[in-house]
Amino acid sequence: MKASRYRIYSLGGFGVNLNQFSISLKNIATDESIKCKKAFWPVQAYAFGKRAKRILIVDIPEEGRYEVLFDNPETLRIKHSNLPISSMFRKPLATDKIEILITEKLGVWPKLK
């Protein structure tokens, strides 16, 4: 990864509850870990034809190879909609179906392909 700010999106729905879920990036060469921060603006978008919501951000200080570490993935809840009435009738996405996108793309409506 290049030294840059990265945005982390969950794919599959707009109704996201992180609970104790978090992501860390560990530099393989130095063993230094960087914890991702909760996104101040949880922007909604579409990526790869799926609903995407920005959930975390991370600043990578130096270029290198990083390992992505998921902490407490079973606590992440993603529902199709963030509207309470719609969410009442649908179950959250199964943990093994959750997809995460890490991108440098900027903007409120990123064109993620």
Residue 8 near residue 58, CB atoms below 8 Å: yes
Residues of the chain where predicted confidence (pLDDT) is lower than 70: 87, 106-113
Provide the β-strand partners of residue 52. 11, 45
* Residue 88, domain extent: 4-103
Tally of structural domains, the chain? 1
**Closest by CA position to 113, among listed 43, 45, 49, 44:** 49
Q: What is the pLDDT of residue 108?
A: 46
Model pLDDT, residue 89: 77
Which tokens go with 81? 């909609």
The answer to whether residue 108 is domain-embedded is no
In a domain, 51, yes or no: yes
Distance (Å) of CA 100 to CA 10, 69, 97, 108: 5, 12, 10, 18
Looking at the domain assignment, is residue 65 inside a domain?
A: yes
- Domain assignment present for residue 72? The answer is yes
